[in-house]
């Protein structure tokens, strides 16, 4: 009889490779990929969302280059790495604390450099001006090479955090960018002294703005080979974490937390998975650790049509375009982890990427927050969404009219007058869509048929819900339900053998509410 492996400690919040290996935590072996990465080039950059294991990856690289073989016993690197060579490592991390001024940034840099000097037993020359951070780093690299006789490894974790912490204050963000650019410029001139350079962060700032001259920096963010360098794969869950799976629905784990993809193998959010195993309950663990205030503000200002969010198409170039003064919506959402790659299509000299929500956690939680913004209050949508689920389970579409009519009626008049959101034509459909998306349902937006595009289809509770939207002041002629009938929108779903509700929803800007909710039901 097969005996399952024993349960181990869950490395929740543990970013130190040594602690994981010595204290009996689960560890997903990434060291084979890490060695492949080292062989593939000298200077790399990797962007991944927050809490995705970037700091642990950096710490693993540090222990590897410092030659601590005992920590790697039984791992892929154990027999493949030359343990006779040890390299001096300079590690810089901006993960802790927040810097809002140039002087605070300077303190963070000084702290990091002094920590490396102490670890490497290298004094700071008294001739160096106190505020010469670039000179300090260059001297440290040159000294480390000379003292230890091996070229230096430079690891920079959360390289962009000082900029992102100030992204809603553009002037401060630019000052942070220039301060970091000065520091990172050293890496070009120090090339002869460097063995390996690795930078991680959430966002990819353009080379021109932050890495000017660092031409050999390889951005591996969207290289398929490294898609699973951070995060857990399906195989990892089924092997490494096999002792944690009994009692949990394996398909639900996949639906809630898998789906992140960088043009290669899809991965689970590790933070979510570990907290699920500890708490044994499906919750939005990752999302709730950092509400995307800046993102929601940006989407509001740009009057983003929320049904489009889960089906944006972008290019590789746009996803890699991010700067203080240039923040494409799809780039911000992708780099922050709220969208991921669904599929790709290559044309001559161009790579088009279809984006999507990675999983139920992100789709539900983000639309919940967006709905609060669309409704003008945090407390408005909560009970509404719960009630919507109850009605969908009953399968009767008629009570939905009362539900949404009451919802729109509850939005304060002052909010309508003052909010730019209520002035754009997609507002009503956005509110309607985000209710369903906040429940994590299977939603098809502008679903294509041979006669046109259906505004929204929801597949849930053994029923097909087909919606057509109309704002009467914009399209005064015809009824929404007539378009559903005329274009035969239900035909596409007949072979499912489920009831199909055809629902024509009409809004009025003047009434600020529903003015029609027509229903026709086809039984299988």
Domain boundary among 182, 206, 226: 226
Q: Which pLDDT does position 467 carry in this prediction? A: 95
Mark 253-281 as b/e (b = at least 16 C-beta within 10 Å).
Answer: bbebbbbbbbbebbbbbbbbbbbbbeeee
Share of the chain above pLDDT 90, in %: 74
Q: Would you say residue 315 lies in a domain?
A: no
Strands 500-508 and 463-471, sheet pairing: parallel
Q: What is the pLDDT of residues 41-77, one digit of tens each?
A: 999 999 999 999 999 999 999 999 999 999 999 999 9
Quote the number of domains for the chain. 2
- Residue 380 CB-density burial (10 A; 0-12 exposed, 13-18 middle, 19+ buried): middle
Q: With 0-12 CB in 10 A as exposed, 13-18 as middle and 19+ as buried, what is 146?
A: exposed
Residue 499 lies in a domain: yes
Instruction: Give residue-wise pLDDT tens across range 93-151.
Output: 999 889 999 999 999 999 999 999 999 999 999 999 989 999 999 999 999 999 999 99
Distances 142 to 67, 85, 86, 111, 123 between C-alpha atoms, Å: 21, 18, 16, 19, 12
pLDDT for the residue numbered 153: 98
226, 253, 270: which is the final residue of a domain?
226
Task: Give the predicted TM-score (pTM) of the model.
Answer: 0.93
* pLDDT given at position 458: 96
Residue 132: CATH number of its domain = 3.40.50
Residue 430's domain comprises 376-522
Rounded Cα gap, residues 205 and 335, in angstroms: 11
- From 188, 205, 226, give the residue that closes a domain: 226
- What is the average pLDDT score of the chain? 92
Reported confidence tier of residue 207, pLDDT bands at 50, 70, 90: low
169/490: higher pLDDT = 169
**Residue 473 counted as domain residue:** yes
Query: What was the pLDDT predicted at 524?
Result: 86
**pLDDT number for residue 475:** 81
SS3 helix, strand, coil % of the chain, rounded to 5?
A: 45, 20, 35
The CATH number of residue 511's host domain is 3.40.1350
In a domain, 179, yes or no: yes
* 359-418 pLDDT per residue, tens: 999 999 999 999 888 887 766 667 888 899 999 999 999 999 999 998 888 888 777 777
Q: Is the pLDDT of residue 4 over 80?
A: no
How high is the pLDDT of residue 350? 86
């Amino acid at each position: 009889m097969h005996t399952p492996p024993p349960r181990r400690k869950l490395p929740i919040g543990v970013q130190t490779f040594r602690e994981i290996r010595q204290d009996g935590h689960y560890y997903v072996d990434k060291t084979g990929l890490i060695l492949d990465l080292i062989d593939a080039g000298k200077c790399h950059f990797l962007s991944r969302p927050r809490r995705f294991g970037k700091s642990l990856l950096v710490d693993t690289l540090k222990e590897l280059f410092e030659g601590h073989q005992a920590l790697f016993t039984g791992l892929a690197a154990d027999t493949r790495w030359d343990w006779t060579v040890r390299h001096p490592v300079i590690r810089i991390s901006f993960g802790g604390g927040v810097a809002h001024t140039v002087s605070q940034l300077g303190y963070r840099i000084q702290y990091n450099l002094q920590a490396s000097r102490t670890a490497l037993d290298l004094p700071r020359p008294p001739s160096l001006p106190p505020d010469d951070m670039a000179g300090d780093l260059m001297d440290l690299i040159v000294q480390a090479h000379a003292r230890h006789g091996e070229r230096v490894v430079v690891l920079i974790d959360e390289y962009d955090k000082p900029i992102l912490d100030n992204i809603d204050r553009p002037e401060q963000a630019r000052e942070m960018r220039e301060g970091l650019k000065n520091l990172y410029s050293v890496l070009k001139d120090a090339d002869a002294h460097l063995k390996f350079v690795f930078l991680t962060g959430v966002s990819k700032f353009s080379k021109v703005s932050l890495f000017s001259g660092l031409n050999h920096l390889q951005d591996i963010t969207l290289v398929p080979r490294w898609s699973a360098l951070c995060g857990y794969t399906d195989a990892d869950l089924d092997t490494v974490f096999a002792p944690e799976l009994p009692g949990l629905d394996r398909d639900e784990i996949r639906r809630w937390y898998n789906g992140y993809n960088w043009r290669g193998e899809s991965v689970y959010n590790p933070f979510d998975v570990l907290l699920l195993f500890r708490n044994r309950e499906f919750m939005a663990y990752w999302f709730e650790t950092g509400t995307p205030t800046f993102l929601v503000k940006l989407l509001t200002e740009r009057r983003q049509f929320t049904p489009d969010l889960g089906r944006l198409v972008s290019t590789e170039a746009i996803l890699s375009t991010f700067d203080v003064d240039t923040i494409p919506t799809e780039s911000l959402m992708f780099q922050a982890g709220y969208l991921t790659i669904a599929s790709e299509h290559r044309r001559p000299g161009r790579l088009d990427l279809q984006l999507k929500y990675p999983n139920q956690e992100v789709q539900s939680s983000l639309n919940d927050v967006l709905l609060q913004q669309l409704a003008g209050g945090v407390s408005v949508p909560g009970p509404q969404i719960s009630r919507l689920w109850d009605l969908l389970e009953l399968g009767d579409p008629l009570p939905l009219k009362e539900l949404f009519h009451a919802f729109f009626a509850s939005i304060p008049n002052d909010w309508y007058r003052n909010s730019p959101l209520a002035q754009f034509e997609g507002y009503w459909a956005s509110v309607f869509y985000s209710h369903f998306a906040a429940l994590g349902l299977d939603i098809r937006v502008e679903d294509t048929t041979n006669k046109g595009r259906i505004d929204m289809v929801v597949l849930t509770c053994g029923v097909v819900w087909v919606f057509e939207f109309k704002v009467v002041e914009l399209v005064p002629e015809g009824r929404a339900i007539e378009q559903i009938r005329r274009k035969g929108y239900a035909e596409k779903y007949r072979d499912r053998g489920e009831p199909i509700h055809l629902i024509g929803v009409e809004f009025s800007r003047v009434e600020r509410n529903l003015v029609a909710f027509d229903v026709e039901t086809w039984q299988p």
